[in-house]
């Protein structure tokens, strides 16, 4: 079994991993996180959510965590203050080209900004294919979004651009998008259980959760080999494959479990707590 002395940083995905299938933080997971923190591990939440959407979970965890990796690795935030440590935007001309590409196909585009510096979370660039899930998201999200007809003209590039549709449609759109923008952007199809929809999300090339973790390792002078990463979905693949110890929960996608060194119990069975207890037992 692994032991905590072999590692300095524990990177944990939220949805489908730390949170149960009802999108709540199980008390056992919270207790385990506190024990790991007291043992000296840096605990880093790594999520595709924006920092605005992550803040309530961080409050529920109730720890004075050092940093959070959000927006799929594009944004690093100081948890205590909410201020931005570092961020990576999409090159503006590429973001505009990609947004036009989606708008030409009548997709409404979500253009996410860094709320800490912009003062709001981003834009909804409206179009005919405005999936009903977008309006459901607007009703419950804490994000402050501004509606636009046409592309933003403020000269500020986004952290991420996103479109929403049914997964069988997005599979084809994603393949075509990859052929046009591959090498210039990173993209994923992600099911978002918290809000009950599927997204195609695109970032600057090279941006993923491991990209954000590596930045924190350099900042804190941690050897990346002394990291543990646990997750469940395709956007967790890079950090699980490249961390010192990559771990999947049992409910993870098959591709995730294939690259993981270890598989723990499901998110509903507190697999994260199992992992932490193993680390602390040595």
* Across 272-276, average pLDDT: 98
> CA dist 159 to 64, 99, 165, 172, 263, Å?
26, 13, 20, 24, 32
Same domain? For 104 and 193 the reply is yes
262 and 126 part of one domain = no
Does one domain contain both 117 and 197? yes
Do 49 and 127 fall into the same domain?
Answer: no
pLDDT band for 4, please (50, 70, 90 cuts).
low
Number of domains in the chain: 2
State the residue range of the domain holding 78: 4-87+208-281
pLDDT higher than threshold 80 for residue 196: no
The verdict on 122 and 185 lying in the same domain is: yes
Same domain, yes or no: 136 and 212: no
What CATH number did the domain enclosing 223 receive?
A: 3.40.50.1000
Confidence of residue 194 (pLDDT cuts 50, 70, 90): confident
28 and 125 within one domain? no
The reported pLDDT for the residue numbered 192 is: 83
Residue 3's pLDDT band (cuts 50, 70, 90): low
What's the CATH number where 131 sits? 3.30.1240.10
What is the pTM (predicted TM-score) of this model?
0.94
Which of residues 150, 175, 204 is at a domain's end?
Answer: 204
29 three-class SS: helix
Across 7-16, average pLDDT = 97
Amino acid 1: pLDDT: 42
């Amino acid at each position: 079994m692994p032991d905590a002395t072999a590692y300095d940083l524990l990177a944990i995905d939220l949805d489908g991993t730390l949170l149960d299938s009802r999108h709540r933080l199980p008390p056992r997971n919270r207790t385990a996180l506190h024990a790991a923190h007291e043992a000296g591990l840096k605990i880093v939440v790594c999520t595709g959510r924006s920092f605005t959407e992550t803040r309530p979970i961080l409050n529920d965890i109730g720890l004075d965590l050092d940093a959070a990796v959000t927006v799929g690795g594009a944004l690093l935030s100081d948890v205590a203050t909410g201020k931005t440590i570092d961020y990576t935007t999409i090159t503006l001309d590429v973001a505009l080209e990609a947004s036009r590409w989606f708008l030409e196909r009548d997709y409404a585009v979500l253009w996410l900004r860094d709320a800490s510096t912009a003062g709001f979370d981003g834009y909804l660039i409206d179009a005919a294919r405005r999936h009903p899930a977008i309006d459901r998201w607007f009703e419950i999200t804490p994000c402050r979004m501004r509606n636009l007809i046409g592309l933003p003209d403020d000269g500020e590039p986004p952290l991420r651009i996103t479109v929403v549709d049914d997964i069988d449609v997005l599979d084809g759109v994603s393949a075509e998008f990859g052929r046009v923008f591959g090498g210039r952007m990173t993209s994923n199809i992600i099911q978002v259980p918290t809000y009950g929809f599927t997204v195609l999300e695109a970032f600057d090339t090279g941006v993923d959760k491991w990209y954000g973790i590596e930045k924190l390792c350099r900042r804190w002078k941690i050897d990346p080999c002394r990291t543990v990463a646990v997750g469940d979905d395709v956007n967790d693949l890079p950090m699980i494959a490249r961390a010192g110890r990559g771990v999947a929960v049992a409910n993870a996608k098959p591709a995730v479990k294939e690259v993981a060194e270890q598989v723990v119990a499901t998110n509903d069975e507190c697999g994260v707590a199992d992992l932490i207890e193993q680390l602390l037992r040595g």
